[in-house]
Structure 1
Amino acid sequence: MLVLTRRAGESVVIGDGIVVTIIDVRGDGVRIGIDAPRSVKVHRAEVLDAVKAENAGAAVPDDAAEATAAALRSILPGPAAAPSPTQSE
């Protein structure tokens, strides 16, 4: 990890198109501005971690998914019930 000391108004350039500028320093908080291309995703780590945890909690375990698929196969018509596109009437 690169550690730098910057003051309000000073910037750090990352790569060819990302500029991080220190906007304000108050107590133990720092306001930063990030100028980056739209193609670069910028997220706060705690929000990204919360989204990942929520997504993991919403995932269906494999055994439950297989049970659901088996139940659906028993009530939905299978491929044999649908006419083949090559069949003529």
Structure 2
Amino acid sequence: MNDTSSLQGVEDTLYIPLYARIYASKRFPNYFYDEKALLLENHISLKKIAQNTFEYFNMASVCRQQMIDKKIISFLENNHACNVVFLGAGL
């Protein structure tokens, strides 16, 4: 298990999208479900993030991520010979 309790600043923000995916998957699985995020839940400490976020923030994060996922999938379906490089996502 990775201990994220000592992280501060930017490092913590990298876990916010993951926490949002777990949150939405557990509370609204009919609308959004991320099996991989749920599998990671027990391997990292998200308690600090959970205490400092709200449902609106989590759902907005998931909606943004889901829209980006759909756009990338659509692009790949229409452009078979390509690469996708996702730099600085969420920062």
Q: TM-score, normalised by structure 2?
A: 0.29
Which has more strand, going by share of residues? 1
Larger radius of gyration between Structure 1 and Structure 2: 1
